[in-house]
Amino acid sequence: MSGWQLPETFHSTSGGVRWGSLGDPGRDPVVLLHGTPFSSYIWRAVAHALARHFRVFVWDMPGYGQSDKSAGQDVSLAGQGRVFSELLAHWGLEEPLVVAHDFGGAVCLRAHLLHGARYRALALVDTVALGPWGSPFFWLAGRHSEVFQQLPPELHRALLRAYVGSASSAGLRPAVLERLVRPWLDESGQAAFYRQMDQADQRHTDEIQDRYGEIGVPVLVCWGEDDVWVPVARGRELATRIPGARLELIAGAGHLVQEDAPAELTATLLDFLRRPR
C-alpha cells in the first residue's frame, strides 16, 4: 500500500481532484474524507478493509496529496464543501455512507447543511466541527504564511515532520511519516502547506455548528482518547449536539487514529456502516 495512487481526475471549481474507488461497483457506496495536512493516504488500510463489503470512494481535496496545488487556489473549508458537493454529483451518489476525519468533518457537514448533500449515514472521526480549533502553531503559520513559505527547505522539512508526528499518540513509523510529509516538500508543496493555513477561518464552522441539531441521519462520533490536536472533550460535545449520535472512544489512539489503532477503528466503522440505525 506504499504505492497508494488515485487514477482518476475530476475538474472541480478549485482545480483538478484526484480520486479512486475500491470494491464491487454494485455494493453500497462509502466515501472517505481526509483532513489537514493529510490526504486519502491515511485511509489506505481502512479503505481496503471496507472494500470487502462496500464500494469505497477516496479522494484528495484540492491543494492536498495528488490533487492540484496552485497559487490563488481556494482551499478554504467553504471551497472544499462546494467541491465535495460537485464530486458527489459527478459520481452520481445520492445518499452515500460518509466517513470523515479532521477538517473533512467540517467539509461534509457544510456540504450537507449548506449545499443539500444527502447521506445515508455519517461517521465523524476526530473531526474539526466545533470552535475554537487549531493549534497555536497552526494560527501563527496562517497569519504569517508568506514568511513560512520562504523557510529554507531543511527547516520546513524539520518543522513539518515534528508537526505531523504530533498527531500520533503511539508515534508514526518512519516510512509512514515520510509518506505523509512528501506532498509538502517541494516548492509548490511548501507553498500549498502554508496556503491552507492562511485560508483557515473558524467562521466556516461557527456558521454551521448551531445547526447540528438539524441532522437527521444516523451519526457515529468516533474519537481517539489521546488526541492532542482535537481533544476528546470536543467529541463528547459534538455527540451531544447531534440527535441520536453514538459516541465511540478508542483507547491509546491520538488524532491519527487510522495509524494508531487501525483494527479498532475499522471494526467500529464496519459495525456502524453495516447497521447505521
Q: How many CB atoms lie within 10 A of CB 43?
A: 24
- The C-alpha cell at 79 is 471551497
Contact 163, 190 (CB under 8 A): no
d(CA 24, CA 18): 20
Question: What is the domain count for the chain?
Answer: 1
Q: Is the confidence at residue 2, as pLDDT, over 70?
A: no
Q: Is residue 180 part of a domain?
A: no
Asked if the structure places residue 58 within a domain, the reply is yes
Domain that holds residue 260: 8-134+202-274
Residue 171 lies in a domain: no
| pLDDT for res 1 | 43
On whether residue 46 sits in a domain, the answer given is yes
pLDDT at 65 over 70: yes
Q: What is the pLDDT of residues 23-55, one digit of tens each?
A: 999 999 999 999 999 999 999 999 999 999 999
**What does the pLDDT look like over 67-88, one tens digit per residue?**
999 999 999 999 999 999 999 9
Residue 45, in any domain of the structure: yes
Region 204-222: mean pLDDT is: 97
Would residue 143 count as lying in a domain?
no
CB atoms near residue 39 (< 10 Å): 26
* Domain at 79, CATH number: 3.40.50.1820
Q: Is residue 129 part of a domain?
A: yes
Q: Using CA atoms, how far apart are residues 254 and 171, in angstroms rounded to an integer? A: 9
Residue 206 domain-assigned (yes or no): yes
